[in-house]
Chains A and B, each alone.
Chain A
Amino acid sequence: MRRGIAATALVATLALAATACGGDTKDDGGATKAGGELSGTVTWWDTSNDAEKASFQKIAEAFTAKHPKVTVKYVNVPYGDAQNKVKNAFSSGAEAPDVIRADVGWVADFASLGYLDEVPAETAKKIDAEFLPQAAASGKYEGKTYAVPQVIDTLGLFYNKKMLADAGVQPPKTLEELKAASAAIKAKTGKAGLYLRGDDSYWFLPLIYGEGGDLVDAKNKTVTVDNEAGVKAFKTARDLVTSGAAITNATDGWNNMQTAFKSGEAAMMINGPWAVADSYAGEQFKDKSNLGVAAVPAGSVKAGAPQGGHDLAVYAGSKNRAAAHAFVEYMTSQDVQVQSAKELSLLPTRTAAYEQPDVKSSEMVQFFKPAVDKAVERAWIPENGSLFEPLKVEYTKAITGASSPEDAAKAAGAEFRKILKGWK
C-alpha cells in the first residue's frame, strides 16, 4: 500500500516535471531570436514514406548542430492522410506544425487559404537563381513565393532487368511494346508484365499525357479530362487490365504494387524516385543493378509523365517563424539535397547539386534528371489537389470495369466542373 502511494507520487512528480518542460519549450518558442540566435521548437510534419523517414528524421534533427537552442520535433504523417491533417491543424491552429512537407500540388491550395507564410525575400531571390525553374514554379501562388522546393520527381517505368532478359524483351517504349513484352513475360515466367496502380489517379496521368491530353487547361479555364484524348486514356487503362498486360487492385494499391514488384510477381511498374529505396529492399533487388528505369511508355501521341515533388512551407500562424524559415533553408540546402540523393535516390531541386559527385554517380538520379526536365508541369491552381479524388473514383471504376471509359471520362469532367466553378 505504502509503495503504491510512493509510486503514485512519483508518477505525479514526473508528470508535473514533464508538463513543466513542455511549458518551458513553448515559452522559448515565442522568443525566436535572443541576441540574434535562434531558439525554440520547430515541429516538422514530414510525409516521406517508410523507407525514407529514418533518413529524413536524422537529417532534420541534425539541424540542432547548427542551432543548438532549437529543438526539432520530427513527426511523420502518412502522405495519404496528410492533406486533411494539415488543413485541420492549420484551420484550428491547435497543435499545428511550424513546417510542413507539402506535395507540390497542395501549395497553391494552402496559400490561397492564407495558411502559409511567405518565404523571406532573400530566400525567394535565391530560389529563382539557384533552383530548377519548374521546381521553383510549384512554390508560387499569384506571384508570391510560399514554399521552397525540397525534392522534384516524375514517374518512370521501373523494370526487373533479369525478368525482362529471361523473357527476351527490351524495356518497352510504347504501350504496344509494353503489351507485347507483358505477353512474352507471362509466357516465359508465368508472372505479370506490369503492375498498374488502380487506386490512385496520379498513376493515370502518364496515360492521359500519352494521348496528348491533360486534366485541365488552366490558361483557357477549360476542363479537358473528358475530351477525346481523355476518353482514349480511360480506354487504354481498361485495355491494359483486360488484355492481361497489367495487373491492378482497387484497394491497397501502393503495398500490393511494391510487394508484387519486389517479389518478382510483376516485372514492371510505373513509379517515381520515392519508390527506389523501398524497391532496393526487395528480394529481387538485393543486387541493386537488377533495377532498371526507363521513360514511361508512350501512348499514341507521346511519352509524358507528370512533374511532382515536395516543397517545404512555413505555417503562417507559427509562433517561431524565424527558426522555421531557417529550418526550411537548411532542409533545402545543397548538402542536405545531395545527402538525400545519395541515400534515397531523391532528386535535388538545386541546379548545382547535380554537379556533385555523389549525385552524378547515382544511376537513378542520372535517369530521372532528364525525365524531370521533360516532365509535364501541372497547373499550379488551388484546386489541383482536389481534382485527384473524383478522378480516382472514375479511374478505379473504369479500370475495374464498373463503368465504361466514356462514362468515366464524362463523370470525371462533370465533377471537375463542380470543383472549378465557371470553367468550361
Chain B
Amino acid sequence: MAAHTSQSVAKAAGDESDVARGRSRRTDGPQRAANRGGLKRAFATHWYAWAMIAPVVLVLGIIIGWPLVRGVYLSLTDANERNVARTIGANHIEATYTFVGLDNYTAVLSDPVFWQRLVWTVVWTVACVTVTFALGLALANMLNRDFKGRAFYRMALILPWAVPGFVSVFAWRFLFNRDNGILNKLLDGGGIAAIPWLDDPTWAKLSVITVNVWLGIPFMMVALLGGLQSIPGELYEAAEMDGATTWQRFRHITLPGLRSVSMTVILLSTIWTFNMFPVIFLLTRGGPGDSTEILVTQAFREAFVSSPRDFAGSATWGVLILALLMIFALVYRRALRKQGEVW
C-alpha cells in the first residue's frame, strides 16, 4: 500500500511541479496566444507521445479518477448500505438514495468530533515528521562517513522498510503489551513500574508516534543519504581551509545542499503520516477509547463499523481529508517558492 501511495503521490507532485514551472515562465501575453495555436501543431508533431501515454491516462482515470468522482458524488447523497443498488444471488435491489446537497458536510463540520480528530491528526503528523526527519538526518550524516562495517549498518537501518508494515506493527503491539510485553518486563527488571503503553491516552499517543517514527526512518535516511552524497566534497574542504567549525559546515553546506531533497521528503512524509491508517488501526484501533483516532481511522469507523454502513458519511470524510491535504500542498509549495525554490 505504501508503495502504491508513494508512487502516485510522487507522480502527482512531479506533475504539479511541471505545471508550476511552465506557468511561472509564461510571462507575456502574445506568447500565450501563440502557445494555444501551437497546441494543434504540437499534437500533430507529438501524436506518438500522446498515444504512448494514453493507456496510462486511461488506467489512472479508471483507478483514481472514477472513484474520486464517485466519492465526491456519494458525499452529496444519503447513500448507505441499505439503499444502494446491490445484487444478492438472483435478486437485484435498485438504488434508492437521494441527493442531499451539502448536508453531510454541514453535519461533519459542525460535529466537535471532526475538530478533535483534526487537532490530534495535526499534532501526530508534525510530531512524526519532525522526529523522523531529525533522526533520519542524524543517521544519514553518521552513515555518510567512512567507517568499518558501514554497509552492515546501512542494511540494518533499512530493515524496518523490508518488513511488511503490519508485521512490524503487530510485533510492536507485543512489545507494548502491559502485562506480558517485553518492554515492561525489561523495565520491571530495572525496578521501574509497568508503563501502560497502550492503555493510557498519553502513553498510547507516544507509542503510536514511536512506531511510526521507527517505520519512517529508513525512507528518510536513504533519501537524505543520497542527498548528502551529491554534495561536492570540495565545499567541505574549502570551508575547512577557511576555518569553519563542524556546526558551521553542517549549517551552511549540508543543510542548504540537502534542501531540495529534504523539502520533497518532508512533503511526502507529511502526506503519508497524515493518512497513516495501518499504524493506528493495528496498534490501538484508535484506542484507548478514541484517543489516538486520526481522521482516516475515524473515516473508516464511520464507514465500516456501524450498520448500515454509511457510505455518504465516509465519502464526506474522505473528500475533506483530500481537501485538507491539497490545501497543505498548495501552501507548502507557495512557501517554498517564496524562498526561491524552483517548484
Contact = CB atoms under 8 A, between A and B. Distances in A.
Contacts of B286: 393
Given A251-B173, A265-B179, A403 B88 contact: no
A407 to B, nearest CB: 11
A386 B308 CA distance: 9
Contact of A397 (B82, B90, B288, B301): B288
B103 interface: no
Given A115-B88, A318-B89, A400-B199, A386 B289 contact: no
Given A250-B198, A256-B177, A382-B307, A400 B289 contact: yes
B289 A252 contact: no
B115 interface: no
A317 interface: yes
Contact of A91 (B86, B284, B287, B290): B86
Contacts of A393: 286-287, 289-290
Interface residues of B, number: 35
A396 B200 CA distance: 10
Interface in B155-202: 173, 177-180, 196, 198-201
Contacts of B88: 90, 93, 114-115, 315-317
A211 interface: no
Nearest to A263: B180
Interface string A359-388: 000000000000000000000001101100
Contact of B199 (A90, A93, A115, A250): A250
Interface string A223-254: 00000000000000000000000010111100
A252 B91 CA distance: 41
B289 A259 contact: no
Interface string A98-137: 0000000000010011110100000000000000000000
A402 B201 contact: yes
B332 interface: no
Nearest to B93: A114
Given A259-B180, A317-B88, A251 B198 contact: yes
A220 interface: no
20 contacts: A84-B304, A87-B304, A93-B88, A93-B89, A112-B82, A113-B307, A113-B308, A198-B199, A199-B287, A247-B179, A249-B179, A250-B288, A251-B177, A256-B177, A259-B179, A317-B88, A389-B301, A396-B289, A397-B288, A397-B290
Interface of A: 84, 87, 90-91, 93, 109, 112-115, 117, 198-199, 247, 249-252, 255-256, 259-260, 265, 315-319, 382-383, 385-386, 389-390, 393-394, 396-397, 400, 402-403, 419
